[in-house]
Chain A
Amino acid sequence: MAEVAEHKVDNTPAGEEWNGGAEPFKASYGKLMMWYFLLSDAFTFAGFLIAYGALRFSNPSWPEPDFVFQTAPFGIEGMPLIFVTFMSFLLIISSVTMVRGVQEGHRNNTSGTAFWMLLTIIGGLGFLGCQAWEWNNLINTEGMTALTNPFSRFEEGGQYVSAADLEKAGYVKTTKVLVEDAKPEDNIPAATYYLAPGTEDIKENRFFVKRDHHQMHAAMHGAHGDDHGGDHHGDDHGAADKAGTTFDASEPYLITYNGETKAYELGAYKSAGGEIKNESFGPKAFGGLFFFITGFHGFHVFSGLAFLTVIMINVLSGLYVERNNGHEMVEKIGLYWHFVDLVWVFVFLAFYLL
């Protein structure tokens, strides 16, 4: 490191500081510009996260993160924030291996630098893989998309009602395939739901008997394997039936998304006032903000991995030994990689912890 520091000594004679060539910041152009790029990127991310905060403050009900993010691979349910904590650890570890890479770079140890950079790349790939699983689970299993948010909170207490209750109240049992322009070869089964007498058959007016989302999926995949062809929906998921369950105001809920009928099942409940209502979708902004901000961060991770790979190959070729500046390129990509970790600290804070 000592020989690197010598480059930065300011030898400008007194009185000639304005003649050019002075380096008041004692840093190379490339490193300085990487810092200012990261500063501008910090403002971009801050803009997105502030938008998240402002929209969250403006909505009367917002999904509860520890309820939304409680699923992990291998069928783990009801473990709030555990999976995302693991993802955070992956990024922290890859940040630490990056520091080791920069240290070895200063000593011109090419194989050591490349080794630690390879570990950093593996950590980053692991993080992206986890994010892919998380997105896939949210979109395909739980039915959250950029425009539809099935997660919300009750504004009042109540009790889920059964099919018999709905029929007694005069609700009309309806069976229909709810996917528009479904082809016969798609084999999409019909959904069964109830309509209040005289109401239009639109999404918001369909009352379903509440079923536990996760239990329903476990039953589907456990009992039927990959056989999605049959018309075996309906009564065979009795274990997931939640009719009769009571809940309090501000309790979080997830509108059941039926992967077979491709329909959101808005659970019918009786409010404290005795009125029959159904669950409503949560604030629309939640899905869009989540996918956009974590996606933008994931894109930073992805491009960081591309740069890391190129620079690791250059390290192995001995290019930076020739430049004799203490592997400054490794230091610059290191700055970028730490920044990705830094942004995750705040994404983790805004989306998962608070």
Chain B
Amino acid sequence: MAEHRTYEESIKFVYYGLGLLAFITLIEVGVSLFGKGHIWEGAKGNPWVLYGAGFLIIVLSVYKAYFIIYEFMHLGGEAKGMAMSILLPVLLLVWGVIAFMQEGGSWGARRELIDEKNALPAQDINNDTGMLDNTKTISLEKAMEG
């Protein structure tokens, strides 16, 4: 795209880029503070506002990344095959993010489970046999219901 610009036009475009990136950054900070309830108290603790703000910030950040790569780093002006050889591998990261956030969530659930198990009374040892006395064991499912 930049190839078609004259020298004067490309200088103008650089300052347009500066304004755009600075503006998006300010919007991001504003949305982030709003989502955390700093601008309007009523938004605090509302999960819809928090997740909505998070989603919006991620979209804006990805747009900033696109702008930097395509305009400042000129990837838009390179051969298509070259651009694809760089951009397509990045798609692997999309899966990485989804998989590891899922993994983190499941890890968190496991931590909670361990905390709940630790809160249970220990299994008693039968003095005659030296084995675990299963009759005295509280089943985990029951304890979690209670």
Contact = CB atoms under 8 A, between A and B. Distances in A.
A66 B33 contact: yes
A50 B100 contact: yes
Range of interface residues on chain A?
35 or more
A58 B100 CA distance: 10
B65 A342 contact: yes
Interface stretch (A13-21, A38-46, A190-198): A38-46
Interface SS of B by simple majority? helix
Contacts of A258: none
Interface string B73-94: 1000011011001100110010
B90 A42 contact: yes
Contacts of A346: 61, 65
B115 to A, nearest CB: 8
B140 interface: no
Contacts of B107: 54, 57-58
B92 to A, nearest CB: 8
Interface residues of B, number: 49
Interface string A82-117: 000100110011011011100100010000000000
Interface string B1-39: 001000100110011011001100110110011001010
A39 B90 contact: yes
B103 interface: yes
A272 interface: no
Contact of B89 (A26, A39, A98, A100): A39
A26 B81 CA distance: 10
A80 B33 contact: yes
Given A58-B108, A88-B25, A338 B82 contact: no
Contact of B79 (A26, A88, A92, A334): A26
Given A54-B100, A103-B14, A353-B57, A24 B32 contact: no
15 contacts: A27-B82, A46-B93, A53-B97, A53-B100, A54-B101, A54-B107, A92-B22, A95-B21, A95-B68, A95-B72, A96-B18, A98-B72, A103-B10, A345-B68, A348-B61
Interface of A: 1, 24-27, 32, 35-36, 39, 42-43, 46-47, 50-51, 53-60, 64, 66, 80-81, 85, 88-89, 92-93, 95-96, 98-100, 103, 107, 250, 334-335, 338-339, 341-342, 345-346, 348-349, 352-354
